[in-house]
Structure 1
């Protein structure tokens, strides 16, 4: 719908120019020059659209689906033609670093995606957090009688047997999966356990089914995520602090985007929101609303916030 409106707007501008050129034979060049000078100095506060087509990759996490569809609406309202591309974690970084994509707003730092960031940071520009205080770890339903990751080893005859020594994970390339498999499980002595890779939606489905039957389950999970609004869940304590303090979700763009698409760069740089705000979008999507529709509705109802993101570019 936004792209169709942009085409109609461009058609209207062309028609207006034709009418003005047909009527403009009076030849007052001094006035016209002054008007052009004033228009040039005031338009868009000097902020140019630049490159009109943008590609933004994201992983199909609930939070990323919500945030990327909202950003698509905002950038298209600013005049861009945006393509969202669903990829795995590795491709999200490689595509932005090699310039085949322009930005990603789904980077978890300083802990979860640290290995990806160290590998590709020379080809990326870090614009900072767009959402602060995003914890992650191993999560269980509150009815389970365990409180710590250490309990998985100490109580393995009960919890381990009932869960088949399996932690239900998400996409295999996700930073949380690498951190869990390479550091958390070895340091807690979970040698008999398996981290089962799947996908974020599949993990959420397994969690929902287990809770419906009040069965034990352990999953890799993070906040913000719609499951925390839907179910009574708890993070297992991490006494060794391997998952670290809560991450921030960050915005990363390719080198050169500021020059190539100044408006988009400024909007992405100013994009910041809260867990409650992203939660509103996630809940609608989980309830069955199309992500694009949920994003359009949120933007329409939160213009004050969107105005902060677009300040200085309109």
Structure 2
């Protein structure tokens, strides 16, 4: 499709959204973790591949299961690989059974996050205000890389008076929202891009020991033989790339009442044909 005008590309994309016009090219299996970023990106890729004629199944799993599934070939790929730090141990375990296609979004970050009114700026200060935080850091699912890094931070910073509470992205953000509404102190495991930074006035705590690393990327990782088996799918996954601002638009839609992430992804694809065109073979 390269060389077509954007108008022509938009027309072709629009025609492909009618299921009866799309050829049945086979089934694509994608796994993801139910974080706001991955819900957005995986549904967008699902829509794009469906419009090319594929049946696409997306399955939410834990981070560990996601990497294991792509390494064993049970799924074709993931768009949810936080590297080089957060999920590095999963990548090491997968070894050459997977192919890293590089970033689909850059400028990501993980760490400990507090509302801006909380009067500390560094992780090293948390023990001194542990009682104000109810002696807790509110976390997400236990298999997440940010959770293992937070366990390491608790050890490295000797946060003996603070416990990491397991949960999920929705639970963490709900507890955070209640705390902000009441003006209470709270610390959570956080990352960007994430819609909570647009809704609340938040800040990352400084990490002088570098436990959480620097800038992260969200990368696309596929099973070893995907290019040979499904070259068109491989190309789309390899080309898939967007900016934090573009992702944030979709994540904001997904926070609306009774939002449907799949319908919102289709709406986003239809409104941005010039971006989608760059992902196509």
User: How high is the TM-score relative to the length of structure 1?
Assistant: 0.82
1:9 aligns with 2:24: no
Q: CA deviation at 1:192?
A: 2.1
What does 1:224-263 correspond to in 2, within 5 Å? Answer: 224-263=193-232
CA deviation profile, 1:116-164 (whole Å, cap 9, x unmatched): 11001221011000001101100000011010001102x2xxx211222
Question: Would you identify which runs of 4 or more consecutive aligned residues in structure 1 move more than 4 Å?
Answer: none
CA distance in 2, matches of 1:250, 1:215: 35
Determine which of 219, 223, 232 is the counterpart of 2:192.
Answer: 223
Conserved? CA contact 1:166–1:194, under 8 Å: yes
1:103 aligns with 2:85: no
Conserved? CA contact 1:170–1:202, under 8 Å: yes
Alignment match, 1:172: 142
Q: CA deviation at 1:106?
A: 0.4
1:281 aligns with 2:255: no
Q: CA deviation at 1:4?
A: 9.1
Alignment match, 1:190: 159
Conserved? CA contact 2:16–2:52, under 8 Å: no
Segment drifting more, 187-196 vs 139-148:
187-196
1:124 aligns with 2:98: yes
Q: CA deviation at 1:5?
A: 3.5
Alignment match, 1:38: none
Alignment match, 1:58: 32
User: How high is the TM-score relative to the length of structure 2?
Assistant: 0.92
What does 1:137-156 correspond to in 2, within 5 Å? Answer: 137-153=111-127, 155=128
CA distance in 2, matches of 1:4, 1:162: 52
Q: CA RMSD in A?
A: 1.6
Conserved? CA contact 2:103–2:219, under 8 Å: yes
Residue-pair matches, total: 266
Conserved? CA contact 1:3–1:81, under 8 Å: no
1:113 aligns with 2:113: no
Conserved? CA contact 2:30–2:56, under 8 Å: yes
Alignment match, 1:73: 47
The gaps in structure 1 that reach 5 residues or longer are 14-48
CA distance in 2, matches of 1:185, 1:54: 40
Q: SS at the partner of 1:107?
A: strand
Alignment match, 2:4: none
Determine which of 148, 167, 179 is the counterpart of 1:210.
Answer: 179
The gaps in structure 2 that reach 5 residues or longer are 1-14
Alignment match, 1:92: 66
CA distance in 2, matches of 1:261, 1:233: 43
Conserved? CA contact 1:75–1:264, under 8 Å: yes
